[in-house]
Chains A and B, each alone.
Chain A
Amino acid sequence: MDVAASPPPDTAAPRGTAPDEMVDGRGRVRAHWSGLLGAICSMPEGELAQRAQRLDRAFEEEGSAGLLPAAVPGDRARRLDPVPLVLDAAGFEALSAGLAQRARLLERVLADLYGPQRLLAEGLLPPELVFPNPAFLRPCRDPRPGAGKPRFLHGYAADLLRGPDGQWHVTADRLVAMEGVAQALTNRAHMARTLPECTRAARMRPLHPFLDAWRDLLHRAAGAGPSGPATVALLTPGVGHRAWAEHVTLARDLSCALAEAGDLTARGGALFLKTLRGLQPVRLLLSRVEGALLDPLELGGRTALGVPGLLDAMRAGTLAVHNHPGAGLAEAPGLRAFLPALSMALLGEALSLSSRETLWLGDPGARARVAATPDAFALRPAVRGVPEGAGPEADPRAWCAVRCMSPSVAPSLSGEGLAPRPVVLRMFLLHDGEDWRCLPGGLARVADGDGRPTPLCKDVWVLSEDRAEIRGPGPLSLPALAIRRASGDLPSRVADNLFWLGRYVERLDDSARLMRATLARLDRAPMLPHDAAEVSALARCLQDARLITEEERPTSGEDAALRRALTRAGREGGRLHRLTGEVARLVEATRDRLTGDMHAAFTVPLRESRAALLAADNPAALGAALGGLVRYASGVAGVAAENMVRGGAHSFLDLGRRLERGVSVSALLGHLLAEPPARVESALALALELCDSVITYRTRYLHVLQPAPALDLVMADPANPRGLAFQLSAAEILLTGVEGGGEPSLSAGARRLRQDAEAMVAEVTRAAEPAQAANGLSGRLLALKDTVGDLSDAIGRRYFTLIAAPRLLGVDTAERGAA
């Protein structure tokens, strides 16, 4: 008898003979598989395996594979089998009717347990499955009878397997996160692209009407506010969560704002999203966070994942939450033992789709049955969160037994051919306001030898009997939208992340250029005094960029420490490595603002450069990897420039880039001009090289290098995209756009900085001793660098300040009973 915590989805070790989805008992291919099988058989040998590789690549490019494995655990190895699971029309109808009945039943159970609790009073359900369950949220209980109470369930997902009896059995009811629906939709898109001949040949039901109905339902339920449709927000635990990609996709497909708890605030009995324009009311929250964490004031969760006052907004009737925070109560595995009786009592119908046999061990008869054939059952906690310490012997009421059952098998690509592998199925349902409708598809997962799901999944095809017309929802009638061009609705957190993405990509570029220039000089043999002086000037810049420490700067020709430091910067834990990680994190965090192509352009080359940096074991390889980073930064800029609508998201990405480059150029010039006036020429040459302005200078002035024209090109010429003036005037224009006629102090600040830079160049032009004058600018440029940094901070304060983190008060204070 094995004792295990419930693994998702719940499949115990296989027992009995598994039926085959494709082949019947007499070895004949079932009719609904023949089309697919025919299409596969008509492919040339090895073709299917090649398609599988294409699917793997597509997943990788889409980033489902994850750039930072640690940040998105479990997501990395996700793969799609090119062979789908096929369900025939009749089989699907039976399944969807059974699941709809089950969803109706669970709704009734929840309404009773959060209401009059007659099921407990009448002994139809033992109190052990309710009161000790941490998902039973007492503040949601309202025993008063009354119509018009909100529904508990709007969505429902179930895990199923087909047992040796040939019937489907539910192994888990999922009422909180319902993960996988976005994955099912993505899988279908990949299948259609990669195996067009198979998808075209099959008369399968499309998935998008389900999605359309869902989107309509959400926006219909949210209703319209005075200034257009009310906001629907999808609440996600955040970028580190394993289902982040799912949440991004869903938010986009359902036209929801993707929000973390910190983006939301409840005030005066209503919920709001913090955007650049201020607080926007949220009328409907599609929650992907566990109910018990949603309101730290009333439910005692951690404040980071919930919004204090959320339950109050629900009670006030201004906010609907899908599913209701208390819905998780009905996920309890032990509840499945009682569903047949509850179905008779509450619906007056027999339960048509059975659960995998579940016995609650609080019942002595059940204990005796399990004791008689202990190997046929696996033991699970009856509710979640039961202390593992109290075993079934000590506290049988906290445990249930589920019958071990091997799932049916379906063909799966194995090497070059097909092999039967066990599959488990997840299906998704939506309440459309009148009844439950089932996604005609789903997510099938291939299980391993022990019946546990592997990361390999399958698309699920539901064949249509005839070409029945596909019934979609009626068009949603909303008032005509006012034309909007500004993007004030951008959530503050998104603007913040884009701004820092811009800054970090630029910082990566600047760091790579500095390192590359240094490496090139260290490579020269023999190194002339002139080279050594340049290396020493570069080292100051490297130290300013925190790529090396002061001790690693070369002293009297000894540069071994510097060489080691440069290699180390790209290694695990090095500054450049950490920068790439930070960029990757921000790309993930802003993923809902990037198209698939953009996301690929932002991630794939970065992943390659990161790997090249780690592998670089000689200066040439390091130089090549740095070149990759420089090209990556240009690629990001180009893709953003060509694909992002101006204003809003693009403004902040660009603003970050401009300010960071403003900081780095003024730092660079400040350090280079600190060289003694006698060496001003080499300092200027270096400045032109690092500002990518050598060719322009040569075109304009041939080979005569003088301080005034050189500084004009890198500091005051507004046409040089690598020069200081360009950054500051671009920042001024962007800030003017973002300010939209409001308080213009920030754009004016950028303008003043540009004027300062112009004035500095003018002084050098007028000076009798330009070299001396240029040298004198060093300190002022370093001060200018700090002022650009201050401007960045001011932007953060004005636009990104999130709602202050709420603090819990009272539990630890003198309010405690002192008597």
Chain B
Amino acid sequence: MIYKVRHVTAYNYESPVEMATHLLHLLPRPLEGRQRVLRAGLSCDPAPARRAEAPDHFGNATAWLYLDRPHARFTVTAEFVVEVTPPPPLPAATPAWDGLREAALRRPDVAEFLFPSPALPPVEGARAFFAPHFTPGRPAGEAVMEMIAAFRGSMAFRSGVTTVSTPVEEVLRRKAGVCQDFAHLMITGLRMLGIPARYVSGYIRTRPPPGGVRRVGADQSHAWVAAWLGEGIGWVEMDPTNSLFVAEEHVVLGWGRDFGDVSPLLGIILGGGQHSVSVGVDMDEAEPVSG
């Protein structure tokens, strides 16, 4: 499946900003066998004085923009075309979930996602929430399938009740939130059970194909979870918000330990007073590109 994504972020400042530095996670990363980036570009208005791009520690595409002229409005547009391939289905036989911690510790790139992270300290309630699916010795695939299926209906999708800094405890208490809250909750629970889990940032197709099911989402950034189910299986992506395993409706921007590692746009400004921001995302199926 080929998708064309256009993500526009516009800041309006009350008074001109004298200087600004922006750190962006807005371009997709290529993923062997999962996602091919056919075209990608960033444009920015006003044009930055300097621009730098480099992969970050996690391998995500990162860009820095430096603006040194006074500006009252700043717009950044990311446009790209990616080809998404559905991952293979989970094999029938998966290792027992309770051996994953030891296996992960032998793999430093995986082990990193076992530990608490700045936004996700250990929360006993999160472990308890998912623990019923993880009975001793149970195959990991079976356990996560049950976990994902059971997640539907346990939480209400409601925007406006939480913010980016809402702790997982509060999401558990309210039993409501948005995709990011659900991803944070599930990651915390999985890590406490000893299963490496990371935060994936990207987009989901919300307009259903003919005859398909409409997915939850407002054509904006989406977030979900990847869990590591052992050597030979690797990372398995699952979307708690829609209670499903990721197939070919999700486009990946990047991943990290939690939202803080892949925040789409971070900035430091001088001046500017109050500001307002508007975000618009368009994601459409595109015709296969020849060649």
Contacts and interface: CB of A to CB of B under 8 A. Distances in A.
Contact of A808 (B66, B118, B206, B268): B268
Contact of A819 (B23, B116, B222, B271): B222
Given A131-B115, A814-B279, A815-B9, A806 B178 contact: no
Nearest to A137: B57
B56 A139 contact: yes
Interface string B49-61: 1101010111000
Contacts of A808: 266-268
B243 interface: no
Contacts of A269: 50, 52, 66
Nearest to B159: A818
A309 B267 CA distance: 10
Would you call the interface of chain A mostly helix, strand, loop, or mixed? Answer: loop
Contact of B272 (A126, A130, A316, A807): A807
A811 interface: yes
A468 to B, nearest CB: 48
B161 to A, nearest CB: 12
A808 B23 CA distance: 11
B263 interface: yes
B261 A138 contact: yes
Nearest to A138: B57
Contacts of A816: 163-164, 178, 180, 221, 259
A678 interface: no
A564 interface: no
A268 B50 CA distance: 7
A315 B219 CA distance: 36
Interface string A786-819: 0000000000000000011011111111111111
Contact of A812 (B50, B159, B163): B163
Given A138-B261, A818-B221, A806 B268 contact: yes
Contact of B108 (A120, A297, A387): A120
A315 B271 contact: no
A807 B21 contact: no
A809 B218 contact: no
B95 interface: no
B116 A132 contact: yes
Contact of A117 (B108, B122, B178, B241): B108
Interface residues of B, number: 65
A804 B223 contact: no
B179 interface: yes
A704 interface: no
B264 A815 contact: yes
Nearest to B202: A817
A610 B70 CA distance: 49
A813 B277 contact: yes
A804 B9 contact: no
A815 B268 contact: no
Contacts, number: 147
Contact of B52 (A130, A312, A813, A818): A312
Contact of A811 (B159, B164, B219, B271): B164
B263 A267 contact: no
Most chain B C-beta atoms within 10 Å of own C-beta, residue among A300, A303, A807, A817: A817
Contacts of B204: 819
Contacts of B261: 138
Nearest to A120: B108
Contacts of B165: 811-812
A296 interface: yes
Nearest to A806: B268
Contacts of B222: 817, 819
A807 B23 CA distance: 14
Contacts of B167: none
A348 B278 CA distance: 58
A121 interface: yes
B64 A817 contact: no
B163 A809 contact: no
B111 A819 contact: no
A815 B263 contact: yes
B173 interface: no
B279 A817 contact: no
Contacts of A812: 163-165
A818 B50 CA distance: 30
Most chain B C-beta atoms within 10 Å of own C-beta, residue among A806, A808, A812: A806
Interface in A89-121: 117, 120-121
A811 B266 contact: yes
B221 A817 contact: yes
A817 B223 contact: yes
- Closest 10 A/B residue pairs (Cβ): A819-B217, A120-B108, A809-B267, A127-B111, A138-B57, A308-B268, A141-B57, A817-B221, A819-B222, A817-B223
19 contacts: A120-B108, A127-B114, A131-B112, A138-B261, A139-B57, A266-B21, A268-B49, A300-B118, A309-B66, A806-B270, A807-B269, A810-B266, A815-B221, A816-B259, A817-B220, A818-B179, A819-B179, A819-B221, A819-B241
Given A127-B108, A138-B261, 18 more contacts: A123-B106, A138-B56, A138-B57, A139-B57, A269-B66, A297-B267, A300-B260, A806-B269, A809-B22, A810-B22, A810-B266, A812-B163, A813-B277, A814-B277, A814-B279, A815-B9, A817-B222, A818-B159
Interface of A: 117, 120-121, 123, 126-128, 130-132, 138-139, 141, 266-269, 296-298, 300, 303, 308-309, 312, 315-316, 387, 390, 803-804, 806-819
